[in-house]
Amino acid sequence: MWRYIARRGINLIPLLFGISLLSFIAIQLSPGDFLAEVRLNPVVSQQTVDEMRRDFGLDQPIHVQYAKWLWRVLHLDFGYSFAFQVPVMWLIRSHLVNTLILNIAALAIAWLLAIPIGIRAATRQYSLTDNTFSLGAYLGISTPTFFSGLVLLFLAFKTGWLPIGGMTGLDYEDLPWYGKALDVARHLVIPAAVLGFGAAAGLMRQMRGNLLEVLRADFVRTARAKGIGERPVIYKHAVRNAINPLITIFGFEIGHLLSGSAILENVVSWPGLGRLILESVVRKDLYVVMGALVIGGTTLVVGNLVADILLVVADPRIRYD
């Protein structure tokens, strides 16, 4: 097992190298650069623009720029943001925790809802409950997050029960720790619900489908024929076998913990990493995008690794050594 994990860790290196190289080239080849905005300012002279281009190293050939960037990253220096003139790592750090709070809350909602509902829907196929949940799931899958986010914000506005976007209230700094937690929780309700219900919809359909398939398998019939009660058949035999694909999905979701909420973050003004990355891509703040990609790539690989390890735990048939 440990050797497997180590091997996966080593595989990460060429993978990240590949991701970073390709994205670096892709960003540089797409039209325009960070200075586009500056150049449009009539007060700024051409000389100043040229000076900035030299400062940022944007006047050098792409391969030189990449080599320099890579060399710095190997020394754990992710460079400076063009736009903010602060270290990329400071920017990422100041947004990272917020995004994690939101996405972990959403992940918890999604899984705690989807698994039981999926099981219930599968065991009562075509019943009223199943159909109702399925209809809800279709709605959840087909509604884009920015739309449901706006609708919920509007509801919050009409009822006055919840704050309109943001992550903390105006007096957050002066609150005791439990007040702070409560304040963040109040702000978390809308975005976590949007993301959580959206993800739960898809997961529930997956769980239902997998379980239905397993329930038709021979070993389930055998178990029932042996006279085992319906509950142990479902929970001990069927569900354990049906959950494998979901664990793989879980791995992917860990990988998306940092970037999955970018659009919603913009709508509900959640001060997260996704929003930072989105803005950086739009204005071509090269090193912020690169830093975020490296971190995103790492979490994706780590997420998959976690899923693979969980698979071993859940399914004794799987062995890696």
Partner 1 sequence: MSGRALVAVVVGTLMLSLTGPLRARGGAAIRLPDIEHPKVFAAGKIGRSGGTLVVGEISDPRTFNLIVSQETSSTIPLSRVFDGLVETNADTLEVEPGLAESWTTSPDGKTWTFRLRRGVRFHDGVEFTADDVVFNMETAFTPGVRGGRRDRMTLAGNPMRWRKIDTYSVEFKTQEPFGPFLRTMTFGVVPKHKLEAALAAGPAEFNKTWGVNTPPRDIVGTGPFTMQSYVPGERIVFLRNPRYWKVDADGNRLPYLARHIQLIVPNLDTLRLKFQAGEMDIYGVRPREFAEFKAGEKSGKYTVYEAGPTASTEFLMFNENPKGLTPPKLAWFANTKFRQAISYAIDRTAIANQVYGGRARPLYGPVTPANKFFNNPNVKQYPHDLGRAETALAEAGFKKGTDGVLRDVSGNAVEFTLSTNAENSERVAIANLIRQDLVQLGIKATLAPEAFNTLVGKLDGNGNVEGLVWGFTAGVDPHTSQNIWKSSGSLHRWNPSQEKPSTAWEAEIDRLFDQAATTVDQKRRKQLYNRWQEIVAEQQPLLYLVNALTSVAARNTLANIRPSSFEGGTWNIEQIFYTVPFR
Binding site for partner 1 (CB under 8 A): 30-33, 36-46, 48, 51-52, 55, 80, 83-87, 90-91, 94-95, 98, 150, 153-154, 156-157, 160, 163-168, 170-174, 266-272, 275-276, 279, 284
Give the whole-angstrom CA distance, residue 267 versus residue 152.
11
Whole-number minimum distance, CB 94 to partner 1, in Å? 5
Residue among 60 and 125 whose Cβ is closer to partner 1: 60
Whole-number minimum distance, CB 43 to partner 1, in Å? 5
The radius of gyration of the chain's CA atoms, rounded to the nearest angstrom, is: 24
Whole-number minimum distance, CB 32 to partner 1, in Å? 3
Give the whole-angstrom CA distance, residue 195 versus residue 106.
6
Whole-number minimum distance, CB 132 to partner 1, in Å? 31
On whether the CB atoms of residues 143 and 200 are closer than 8 A, the answer is no
Residue among 223 and 276 whose Cβ is closer to partner 1: 276
Residue among 291 and 297 whose Cβ is closer to partner 1: 291
Give the whole-angstrom CA distance, residue 159 versus residue 108.
26
Residue among 15 and 184 whose Cβ is closer to partner 1: 184
Residue among 4 and 172 whose Cβ is closer to partner 1: 172
Comparing C-alpha atoms, which of 88, 57, 55 is closest to residue 294? 88
Give the whole-angstrom CA distance, residue 307 versus residue 151.
34
Whole-number minimum distance, CB 318 to partner 1, in Å? 42
Whole-number minimum distance, CB 107 to partner 1, in Å? 21
Residue among 42 and 227 whose Cβ is closer to partner 1: 42
Give the 3-state secondary structure of 111-163: HHHHHHHHHHHHHCCCCHHHHHHHHHHHHHHHCCHHHHHHHHHHHHHHHCCCC
Give the whole-angstrom CA distance, residue 193 versus residue 139.
14
On whether the CB atoms of residues 194 and 184 are closer than 8 A, the answer is no
Residue among 58 and 150 whose Cβ is closer to partner 1: 150
Whole-number minimum distance, CB 106 to partner 1, in Å? 18
Give the whole-angstrom CA distance, residue 183 versus residue 130.
36
